[in-house]
């Protein structure tokens, strides 16, 4: 868990407490007090969001090379090899993946895990459906790893391809905006495993 994750949790807890205090003040008939609390809260919330967007704008893009693990907490994904098969109007990319756990004591999974290929214009390409492939959210024992693969079909004109991954919410979803430094996708520079 990063410093920005902890800051988000602190901001969330502060929001719950502040909104509860404002609601109690309003219920007790202290409307001016409740409005003053909400104005201060709104100013702080706007400052937090602007700080998050500014950090994401200024932060350089994180590019992970093929063969290096990309870890989100204790769940790691490694693109071990990439093969490319050109066709007339499309190119097929087969990506060999290793999913691993750095957890020392507990079994874990990345619930809602997803993976896409993304090009330099921000277009997302889903993997081809393969019911026999190991799911990204497979339950892993401490220190365990499994291999799988995904195949992506992209137009032959797509450039600057990379893999983006995550779990617990969609690509460039609300959590990316609420956690400081995670909204790089808004500026077309998401963290990725560069494959081309």
Locus of tokens 């087969």: 94
pLDDT in tens, 66-116: 999 999 888 999 999 999 998 788 999 999 999 999 988 899 999 989 999
Strand partners, 149: 96
d(CA 128, CA 18): 46
Overall residue count recorded for the chain in this entry: 196
* pLDDT per residue as tens digits for the range 118-151: 999 999 999 999 999 999 999 999 999 999 999 9
- Number of C-alpha atoms within 13 angstroms, CB side, residue 195? 25
């Amino acid at each position: 868990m990063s410093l920005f994750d902890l800051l988000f949790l602190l901001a969330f807890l502060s929001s719950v407490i502040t909104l509860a205090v404002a609601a109690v003040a309003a219920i007790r008939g202290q409307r001016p007090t409740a409005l003053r609390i909400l104005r201060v809260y709104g100013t702080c919330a706007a400052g937090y969001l602007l700080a998050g967007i500014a950090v994401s704008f200024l932060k350089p893009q994180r590019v992970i090379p093929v063969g290096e693990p990309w870890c989100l907490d204790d769940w790691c994904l490694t693109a071990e090899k990439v093969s490319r098969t050109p066709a007339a109007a499309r190119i097929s990319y087969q990506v060999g993946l290793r999913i691993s756990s750095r957890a020392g004591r507990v079994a874990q999974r990345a619930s809602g895990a997803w993976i896409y290929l993304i090009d330099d214009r921000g277009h997302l390409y889903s993997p081809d459906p393969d019911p026999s492939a190991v799911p990204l959210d497979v339950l892993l024992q401490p220190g365990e790893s499994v291999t799988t693969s995904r195949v992506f079909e992209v137009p032959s004109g797509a450039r600057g391809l990379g893999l983006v991954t995550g779990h617990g919410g969609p690509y460039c979803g609300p959590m990316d905006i609420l956690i400081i430094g995670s909204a790089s996708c808004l500026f077309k520079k998401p963290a990725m495993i560069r494959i081309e």
